[in-house]
Amino acid sequence: MKKILVINPGSTSTKISIFEDDKEIISENIEHKVEDIEKCKKVMEQLPFRKKCVVDFLKRNNLSIDDLDAIAARGGILPPMKSGTYRVDEEMVNYLKTKPIVDHASNLAAVIAYELSKQSSKELPVYITDPISVDEFIPQSRISGIPQLERHSLFHALNMKIVARFAANELNKKYEECNFVIVHLGGGISVGAQRKGLMIDVNNASDEGPFSSERSGELPMDDLAKWIFKNLTSYSKEEVKSNFIGKGGLFAYLGTPSLKDALEKANKNESARLIIDAMAYQIAKEIGGMAALLGGELDAIVITGGMAQSDYFVQKIKDKIDKLGLIMVYPGSYEMEGLALGALRALNNLESSKLWEGEKAL
Domain range annotation of the chain: 3-133+336-355, 139-331
- At 236 the pLDDT is 85
Nearest CA to 79 among 102, 105, 109, 97? Answer: 102
**Closest to 135 measured CA to CA, from 150, 154, 161, 149:** 154
Contact 107, 43 (CB under 8 A): yes
Determine the Cα–Cα distance for residues 29 and 303; give it in Å rounded to an integer. 24
The CATH homologous superfamily to which domain 139-331 belongs is ATPase, nucleotide binding domain (3.30.420.40)
Per-residue pLDDT of the chain (362 residues; tens, 9 = 90+): 999 999 999 888 999 999 999 999 999 999 998 888 889 989 999 999 999 999 999 999 999 999 999 999 999 889 999 999 999 999 999 999 988 777 888 999 999 999 999 999 999 999 999 998 899 999 999 999 999 999 999 889 999 999 999 999 999 999 999 999 999 999 899 999 999 999 999 999 888 999 999 999 999 999 999 988 888 788 888 888 888 988 999 999 999 999 999 999 999 999 999 999 999 999 999 999 999 999 989 999 999 999 999 999 999 999 999 999 999 999 999 999 999 999 999 999 999 999 988 776 54
Quick one: pLDDT at residue 242?
Answer: 87
Looking at residue 325, what is its pLDDT?
Answer: 95
* CATH 3.30.420.40 fits domain 3-133+336-355: yes
Q: Provide the pLDDT for residue 360.
A: 63
Question: What pTM, to 2 d.p., does this model score?
Answer: 0.91
Q: Cα angle at 253 between 250 and 259, to 5 degrees?
A: 25
3-133+336-355 with 139-331: one CATH topology?
yes
- Strand-pair category, 300-305 with 23-31: unpaired
Alpha-carbon distance of 88 to 155, in angstroms, equals 21
Pairing of strands 126-129, 189-195: unpaired
